[in-house]
């Protein structure tokens, strides 16, 4: 302490840290059923390793060590050792090392004996027993019993018994080392929603939130429908977080449901771009508001500019027309496209409707009209293109059936997105064709928080007797959303003169392995494999002739909006093709 003037002083703390010591060994005593190596894998605490300066192995954290003892206890109880006891770890400091000793009294291993259900039954016992997993186990597991309690509680909650109590009664029989389990159920009173209180929504209107709920006031409680309601709210992607709290109401059979949301920006300014041999440098920009005036409406203005393309689109969607789940919208566009052998200048629009027909399933109907001027046709253009010279009118109607159960729109972790559609052009005009397309994509969680994704698309188009099938309605593949590593529309078929034209059928498959890199920030790594091809009228759909690519990339649900950066390599390059990596990206900004 250094004395200063005016009755003040400076304090200086002198610390001698000494040398840092690590855990030398972790020793178990009393473990016969499982070796030390198996038990050490359960622990967060570890012995010092060769790469301890990177992994921090060997560092003692008393809190982690106490939790490790609880993990080992749980492991034994989940493997039939219901009487197992694990002592508090003993820590000994000696010289420059730490020695940890954990004593274990395993006891005998118990098997599952008789399992039954007692108390208030709202379903036949055999139906309730179908939800009990411990009955299919040979060895007793505390974790399985816990899951059974939750499963039975959910069954009762779905029938309105929100406060049902399920108590597992465990009876040990040391003589034959078996455990009898009885799930004692007290269903309580049926519970009703007295009030639904929504808070936190500064912009979004109450009715936009309430129409997503599968539960209503004065209705009997349902745990399943409540969970579905919260999932649907999250799928709107209007909120950073959705917190749900249930409290008792004015009586024992009344419940107040409180939903607190935290809004996030729903307007985005998005841009993206890349390079291709067709477009050279190309760019895309769009302004989108997905929750216009808090009504849940979507409006978008989009521009795409490149060396061969310019396209301007305006779209509007009302998801609940007349306050029923009937979506309606329209699109207007102007699209100029310079192809290799001709130019297409088009103006058009569409009106569309959608309505739910089943769980996660909607049917869509749309009518579109387009006026296209085909000009600047080169001498080496195919006859298919030359027949289109001048103005062409397309009047078409399309129907789509879509199933979408993804848990969120960007970086999903589970759920599927499947659709089938048919489009008929020929309601007047010059163009006539019938196009069939199908798509299926499924996300499924894997180990360590990783996610797998399987996706497939296929299509077929044929010319109608009343009109022409233009090249621009045929199929091409290549680019960010089909075969990565190939240029946009780079995978095509050929006519009798050897000129590139679109195919009348195609097939596409994508496999992805999604790895969370920074989970809190929404950063995900992706490894992918793409395969597909297009085929002409005189070609059979041969899956043995698909083009293939593979690569890696990164996706980030950033504060500026979704960002994708991906690099694909062609695995089967043909003469003149470069198999080297080709980067593509898209980016968005929120407001």
Cα separation, 131 vs 147, in Å, equals 10
Cα separation, 191 vs 255, in Å, equals 7
CA 393 to chain centre: 40
**What's the Cα-to-Cα distance from 509 to each of 533, 548, 549, rounded to whole Å?**
10, 9, 11
Instruction: Evaluate the CA torsion angle 104, 137, 222, 163 in order and state its sign.
Output: negative
Helix ranges, 369-465 (H): 383-386
CB 343 within 8 A of CB 376: yes
The β-bridge relationship of strands 433-445 and 254-263 is: unpaired
Which residues 6+ apart lie within 8 Å of 500 measured at CB?
340, 492, 493, 494
What is the pTM for the complete model shown? Answer: 0.68
**Cross-strand partners of 587:** 271
CA 319 to chain centre: 22
Per-residue pLDDT of the chain (591 residues; tens, 9 = 90+): 999 999 999 999 999 988 888 999 999 999 999 999 999 999 999 999 887 777 778 888 999 999 999 999 999 999 999 999 999 999 999 888 999 999 999 999 999 999 999 999 999 988 999 999 998 899 999 999 999 999 999 999 999 999 999 999 999 999 999 999 999 999 999 999 999 999 999 999 999 999 999 999 999 999 889 999 998 998 888 998 999 999 988 998 999 999 999 998 888 887 766 544 445 566 778 898 999 999 999 999 999 887 777 889 999 999 999 999 999 999 999 999 887 778 889 999 999 999 999 989 999 999 999 999 999 888 877 777 788 888 999 999 999 999 999 988 778 899 999 999 999 999 988 899 999 999 999 999 998 889 999 999 999 999 998 789 988 899 989 888 889 888 877 888 877 666 677 889 999 999 999 999 988 778 999 999 999 999 988 888 888 789 999 999 999 877 666 788 899 999 988 887 777 777 887 765 444
CB 320 within 8 A of CB 332: no
- Show the tokens assigned to 277: 């041999």
* Spatial CA neighbour of 404 closest among 566, 237, 563: 237
Cα separation, 196 vs 188, in Å, equals 22
Helix ranges, 159-205 (H): none
The β-bridge relationship of strands 192-199 and 254-263 is: parallel
How wide is the angle at C-alpha 37 spanned by C-alphas 32 and 40, nearest 5°? 100
CB 299 within 8 A of CB 330: no
How wide is the angle at C-alpha 135 spanned by C-alphas 134 and 138, nearest 5°? 80
- Show the tokens assigned to 439: 């798509």
Which residues 6+ apart lie within 8 Å of 17 measured at CB?
none
Per-residue pLDDT, 584: 81
Q: Class of 111-186 per CATH?
A: alpha beta
Q: At what angle do helices 142-158 and 223-236 cross, to 10 degrees?
A: 90
For the chain, give every domain's residue range.
Answer: 22-105, 111-186, 192-263
Q: For residue 496, give the DSSP letter.
A: T
- The answer to whether 111-186 and 192-263 have equal CATH topology is yes
Cα separation, 335 vs 413, in Å, equals 36
Fold classification of 192-263 is Ubiquitin-like (UB roll) (3.10.20)
Write out the H or E segment, with its range, that includes residue 26: strand 22-29
The β-bridge relationship of strands 451-463 and 433-445 is: antiparallel
**Cross-strand partners of 457:** 439, 508
Count other Cβ atoms within 10 Å, centred on residue 371: 13
Count other Cβ atoms within 10 Å, centred on residue 376: 14
Question: What are the φ/ψ torsions at residue 533 (nearest 5 degrees)?
Answer: -165, 165
Per-residue pLDDT, 317: 96
Q: For 136-170, what is the HEC assignment?
A: HCCECCHHHHHHHHHHHHHHHHHCCCCCCEEEEEE
Q: Which conformational region is residue 104 in: left (phi greater than 0), alpha (psi within -120 to 50 degrees), or beta? A: beta
Cα separation, 340 vs 50, in Å, equals 61
Name the one residue in this structure whose structure tokens are 């209180």: 197
Per-residue pLDDT, 71: 95
Which residues 6+ apart lie within 8 Å of 73 measured at CB?
84, 85, 86
Which superfamily is assigned to 22-105 in CATH? Answer: membrane protein fhac (3.10.20.310)
CB 274 within 8 A of CB 585: yes
The β-bridge relationship of strands 85-86 and 309-318 is: unpaired
* Spatial CA neighbour of 484 closest among 535, 433, 547: 547
């Amino acid at each position: 302490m250094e004395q200063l003037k005016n009755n003040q002083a400076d304090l200086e703390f002198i610390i001698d840290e000494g040398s840092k010591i690590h855990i030398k060994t972790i020793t178990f005593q009393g473990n016969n059923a499982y070796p030390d190596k198996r038990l050490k894998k359960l622990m967060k605490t570890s012995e010092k390793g060769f790469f301890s300066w990177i992994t921090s192995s060997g560092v003692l954290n008393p809190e982690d060590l106490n939790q490790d003892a609880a993990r080992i206890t749980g492991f034994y109880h989940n493997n039939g050792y219901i009487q197992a006891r694990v002592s508090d770890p003993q820590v000994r400091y000696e010289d420059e090392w730490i020695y940890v000793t954990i004593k274990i009294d395993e006891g005998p291993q118990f098997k599952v004996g008789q399992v039954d259900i007692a108390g208030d039954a709202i379903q036949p016992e055999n139906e309730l027993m179908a939800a009990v997993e411990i009955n299919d186990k040979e060895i007793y597991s505390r974790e399985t019993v816990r899951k059974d309690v939750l499963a039975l509680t959910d069954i009762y909650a779905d029938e309105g018994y929100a406060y049902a109590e399920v108590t597992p009664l465990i009876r040990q029989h040391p003589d034959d080392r078996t455990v009898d389990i009885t799930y004692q159920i007290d269903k309580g009173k049926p519970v009703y929603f007295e009030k639904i209180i929504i808070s936190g929504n500064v912009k979004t209107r109450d009715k936009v939130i309430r129409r997503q709920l599968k539960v209503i006031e004065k209705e009997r409680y349902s745990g399943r429908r409540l969970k579905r309601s919260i999932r649907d709210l999250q799928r709107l992607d209007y909120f950073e977080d959705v917190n749900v709290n249930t409290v008792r109401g004015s009586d024992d059979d009344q419940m107040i449901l409180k939903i607190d949301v935290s809004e996030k920006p729903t307007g985005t300014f998005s841009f993206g771009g890349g390079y291709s041999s067709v477009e050279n440098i190309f760019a895309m920009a769009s302004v989108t508001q997905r929750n216009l005036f808090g009504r849940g409406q979507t409006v978008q203005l989009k521009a795409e500019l490149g060396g061969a393309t310019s396209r301007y689109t305006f779209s509007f969607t009302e998801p609940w027309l007349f306050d029923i789940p009937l979506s309606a919208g329209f699109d207007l566009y102007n699209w100029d496209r310079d192809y290799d052998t001709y130019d297409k200048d088009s103006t058009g629009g569409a009106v569309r409707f959608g309505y739910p027909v089943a769980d996660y399933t909607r049917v869509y109907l749309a009518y579109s009209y387009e006026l296209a001027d085909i000009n600047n046709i080169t001498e080496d253009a195919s006859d298919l293109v030359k027949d289109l010279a001048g103005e062409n009118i397309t009047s078409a109607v399309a129907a789509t059936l879509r199933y979408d159960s993804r848990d969120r729109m960007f970086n999903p972790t589970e759920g599927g997105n499947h659709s089938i559609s048919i489009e008929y052009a020929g309601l007047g005009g010059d163009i006539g064709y019938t196009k069939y397309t199908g798509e299926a994509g499924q996300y499924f969680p894997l180990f360590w928080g990783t996610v797998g994704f399987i996706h497939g698309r296929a299509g077929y188009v044929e010319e109608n007797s009343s009109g022409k099938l233009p090249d621009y309605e045929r199929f091409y593949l290549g680019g960010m959303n089909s075969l990565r590593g190939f240029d946009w529309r780079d995978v095509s078929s050929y006519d009798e003169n050897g000129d590139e034209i679109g195919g009348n059928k195609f097939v596409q498959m994508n496999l992805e392995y999604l790895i969370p890199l920074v989970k809190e920030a929404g950063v995900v790594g992706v490894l992918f494999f793409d395969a597909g091809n297009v085929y002409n009228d005189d070609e059979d759909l041969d899956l043995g002739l698909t083009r293939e690519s593979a690569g890696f990339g990164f996706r980030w649900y950033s504060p500026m909006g979704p960002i994708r950066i991906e690099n694909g390599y062609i695995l089967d390059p043909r003469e003149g093709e470069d198999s080297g990596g080709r980067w593509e990206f898209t980016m968005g900004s929120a407001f």
